[in-house]
């Protein structure tokens, strides 16, 4: 069974598509891209919207193309299929644990992977590229700091299923 890493944020327009794009790039660079499938979803979105223009621009500056991203509303099937669900804020973790209690052990806050405990701020609604760059930089920092832990969890959670 293929391991699936699912990033979740509110709208699936900024943070989760940026995290998805970054992790895919990291996995390709390390030749781990066959280890798992990386995707993203939103708790409060509709299907088929593009990523935020400023999120796309911030990612382009990092050499990552997310122009093909389309939003996806989180479903029970997504939660059941995911080996690891990575959320951006504690509120999402708490809400998902309440709605999907059987998935509790597979839901983790992004900052927890890096040994920290804080939310990743949402730049949505801002017209400041600087805020999107800061958000992308924070996600990148947390993914890099928590990369080994993430790989361990993916292997562990995939073997449990």
In contact, 112 and 93? CB cutoff 8 Å: no
**Domain span at 138:** 3-160
pLDDT > 90 in the chain, percent: 84
Total number of domains constituting the chain: 1
Owner of token pair 């088929």? 48
Q: Is residue 155's pLDDT more than 90?
A: no
Catalytic residues: 9, 15, 122
Q: Do 91 and 97 meet the contact criterion of CB atoms below 8 Å apart?
A: no
CATH number, domain with residue 15: 3.40.50.2300
Question: Which residues, in sequence order, are bridge partners of residue 48?
Answer: none
- The predicted structure's pLDDT at residue 102: 94
CA atoms within 13 A on the CB side of 123: 26
**Positive/negative CA dihedral, 106, 108, 101, 75:** negative
pTM: 0.95
């Amino acid at each position: 069974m293929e391991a699936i890493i699912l990033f979740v944020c509110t709208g699936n327009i900024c943070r989760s598509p940026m995290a998805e794009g970054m992790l895919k790039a990291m996995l390709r660079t390390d030749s781990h891209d066959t280890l798992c499938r990386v995707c993203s979803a939103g708790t409060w979105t509709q299907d088929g919207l593009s990523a935020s223009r400023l999120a796309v621009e911030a990612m382009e500056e990092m050499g990552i193309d997310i122009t093909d991203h389309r939003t996806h509303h989180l479903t029970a099937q997504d939660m059941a299929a995911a080996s690891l669900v990575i959320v951006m804020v504690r509120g999402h973790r708490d809400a998902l644990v309440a709605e999907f209690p059987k998935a509790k052990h597979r839901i983790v806050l992004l900052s927890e992977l890096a040994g920290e405990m804080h939310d990743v701020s949402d730049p949505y609604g801002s017209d400041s590229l600087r805020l999107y760059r800061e958000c992308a930089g924070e996600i990148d920092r947390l993914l890099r700091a928590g990369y080994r832990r993430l790989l361990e969890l993916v292997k562990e959670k995939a073997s449990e299923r």
